[in-house]
Chains A and B, each alone.
Chain A
Amino acid sequence: EAGVAQSPRYKIIEKRQSVAFWCNPISGHATLYWYQQILGQGPKLLIQFQNNGVVDDSQLPKDRFSAERLKGVDSTLKIQPAKLEDSAVYLCASSLDHGRQPNTGELFFGEGSRLTVL
């Protein structure tokens, strides 16, 4: 079974430029998550989708970050314009769980997209 695919693995940009990350979840997984992991910290949830609807985006900086999952499968996360503090690894994860059941809890993570903003 193929895992969660992310691209690009690495991206270096200058501040005020834009960047987009792509994620393809495991086939059949209804829930998709984007996490931001700053060096030395635990991952922080940015946005959670169930199919193509947003479940939680309360921690997404909406003035510069956007995410979509138009067909309920793959997803893109965009940052525009980027700031120095956006340097981080952006992790995509998916799960079968539909968010309202007793939590199986297992999220399957991709290897991440490492962003460096200069």
Chain B
Amino acid sequence: AQSVTQLDSHVSVSEGTPVLLRCNYSSSYSPSLFWYVQHPNKGLQLLLKYTSAATLVKGINGFEAEFKKSETSFHLTKPSAHMSDAAEYFCVVSEIRAGNMLTFGGGTRLMVKP
């Protein structure tokens, strides 16, 4: 069965400093991996996705993530945090064997201090 573990439930950074949100996955087959963002009282929005092409994936708003099969990780990074980045972030795994059902991690709440 596939699963996702987000290693930090809360991350706090200062504006202008780097962001690192950690994600580890478990999958029996070659997975697809995604990061979604959820702002308060808003729907989930896709940030970026990995689907077996380039291992370094660039997304919207300056975010990127690197797929590392040997470490079963898909950490999300951004060089410089902005106040508008404060939100909940979800790492998601999917595999064709599971009928492309998405499995969400528990989420990481990112707080950005001025």
What residues of chain A have their CB less than 8 Å away from a CB belonging to chain B? 3-4, 40-45, 48, 55-56, 91, 93, 97, 99-100, 102-112
Contacts and interface: CB of A to CB of B under 8 A. Distances in A.
B44 A91 contact: yes
B90 interface: yes
Given A48-B99, A99-B99, 10 more contacts: A3-B43, A40-B107, A41-B106, A42-B4, A43-B104, A91-B43, A93-B44, A99-B100, A100-B99, A107-B44
B93 to A, nearest CB: 10
A91 B101 CA distance: 15
Contact of A44 (B45, B51, B104): B104
Nearest to A48: B101
B107 A42 contact: yes
Interface in B26-83: 32, 34, 41-46, 49, 51-52
21 contacts: A4-B43, A40-B106, A40-B107, A41-B106, A42-B90, A42-B106, A42-B107, A45-B103, A55-B99, A56-B99, A56-B101, A103-B32, A103-B96, A103-B100, A105-B49, A105-B92, A105-B100, A106-B49, A107-B44, A109-B44, A111-B41
Given A43-B90, A102-B96, A103-B32, A110 B101 contact: no
B20 interface: no
B96 A100 contact: yes
B11 interface: no
A112 B43 contact: yes
B87 interface: no
B102 interface: yes
A13 B14 CA distance: 41
